[in-house]
Amino acid sequence: MQNLLNISNSNILKNNNLRVYGNIFALIVLFIISIFLGYPNFLKTQNLLNILRQISYTGIIGLGMTFVIIAGGIDLSVGSITAFAGAIAIITINVLNSIGVSVYIGVAFAIIAALSVGTICGFINGFFIAKGNIAPFIVTLGTMGIFRSLSLFMADAGEFRSSNVLYGNIGGSSFLYIPIPVWVFFITSFALSFVLKQTRYGRYVRAVGCNSKVAHYSAINVPSIKLITYIINGFLVGVSAILISMRFNSVGTSTFGINYEMDAIAAVIIGGTAMSGGKGSVWGTVIGAIILGIINNMLNMVGVSPYLQGTVKGLVIIGAVFIQRQNSNN
């Protein structure tokens, strides 16, 4: 049984590599087209860094979503968790600042609070899905409403603004001219790629996504594997919430994290991860996020209304899934 599992995982990795190479080719073609359509502004360093910064927030969430989808799940609540975790971070900072705690300690506790909230929310999703055996769509659709409404209730549908200047300064800072969120995005990508490809847990995630019953008969603890994917996803949502709230030094509970689930899922699907589970890669998601960022940037440059960008994303998702289905049928 273990040999069959190893052979299956080997074939999946080969297919994932082919998908990544195909996505790289698509990215190169899109980049060349963007150079011509957006000349001379597209190739400006500031524009390219802005693209990377913008995709980092939802891209980090997409990395966690990759594990969830490969394991056969889905998470529609990531946008609401982002708002909830970000709101808790700002509340923590303001409370500590009001009692005279050092700004450095305030930032540290805000980060811990946001990561804890994101992780707990991910655990709640995973518990009801893995242990309660409820469909992921139903659970995360419900928690999407719960976490968003909690955020709105705490701020009376308004916004939380940080009283800690250091918190906002960190969000706008760079290291070696590259924005901090970009560093976090790519460092996290390297770490999670290693986990997915080189660890036993990564192999188990793919096995559960391919066929949970076979994985169970292979002595894999399927509920635990699924639960951990949602915990990872929740933790990364907390990371993203920190970075975005730092960037604006505030959280508008009615708009913060809106449509992040769509952007994260789109990046994963464009990156070649199968919605049916079992197949996918972290670097495919990274490329998918970059492709999506370039498309959004080009739509802005050519003057397409921002209200139509959701249409483009929707068409891209449908097209990517359609191509996946056609390839699987051949």
Q: Which of 257, 263, 237 is nearest to 151 (CA)?
A: 257
Q: Which of 64, 51, 115, 26 is nearest to 285 (CA)?
A: 64
**DSSP assignment letter at 244:** H
Cα distances from 214 to residues 1, 5, 14, 219, in angstroms, run: 9, 9, 21, 9
Residue 287 has pLDDT above 50, yes or no: yes
| Burial class of 224 by CB neighbour count within 10 A (0 to 12, 13 to 18, 19+) | middle
User: Quick one: pLDDT at residue 14?
Assistant: 53
Residue 143 has pLDDT above 50, yes or no: yes
Alpha helices in 99-179 (DSSP H): 103-126, 136-155, 165-171
What's the mean pLDDT when you consider all of the chain? 88
User: Quick one: pLDDT at residue 20?
Assistant: 61
User: Quick one: pLDDT at residue 330?
Assistant: 57
Collapsed DSSP state (helix, strand, coil) of residue 280? coil
Which whole number is the average pLDDT over 46-57?
Answer: 93
User: Quick one: pLDDT at residue 7?
Assistant: 45
User: Quick one: pLDDT at residue 309?
Assistant: 77
Question: Could you tell me if 280 and 69 are in contact, meaning their C-beta atoms sit under 8 angstroms apart?
Answer: yes
Residue 144 has pLDDT above 80, yes or no: yes
pLDDT in tens, 69-109: 999 999 999 999 999 999 999 999 999 988 988 899 999 99
Tell me how far apart the alpha carbons of residues 293 and 29 are, in angstroms, rounded to a whole number: 14
Band (5; pLDDT cuts 50, 70, 90)? very low
pTM for the model: 0.90
User: Quick one: pLDDT at residue 32?
Assistant: 85
Residue 141 has pLDDT above 90, yes or no: yes
Residue extents of the structural domains in the chain = 2-325
User: Quick one: pLDDT at residue 104?
Assistant: 92
pLDDT in tens, 256-269: 988 899 999 999 99
Structure-token pair, residue 159: 């916004």
Tell me how far apart the alpha carbons of residues 55 and 58 are, in angstroms, rounded to a whole number: 6
User: Quick one: pLDDT at residue 11?
Assistant: 53
Residue 167 has pLDDT above 50, yes or no: yes
The phi and psi torsions of 72 (rounded to 5 degrees) equal 95, 15
- What share of the chain in percent tops pLDDT 70? 91
Give the CATH number of domain 2-325; options: 3.40.50, 1.10.287, 2.60.40, 1.10.3470: 1.10.3470
Q: CA 120: distance to chain centroid?
A: 17
pLDDT in tens, 21-47: 677 877 888 888 888 887 788 888 899
Residue 293 has pLDDT above 50, yes or no: yes
Strand extents, DSSP E, the chain:
159-161, 174-175, 178-179, 250-252
User: Quick one: pLDDT at residue 27?
Assistant: 81
Sign of CA dihedral 84, 85, 87, 88: positive
The phi and psi torsions of 67 (rounded to 5 degrees) equal -65, -45
What one-letter code names the amino acid at 267? Answer: A
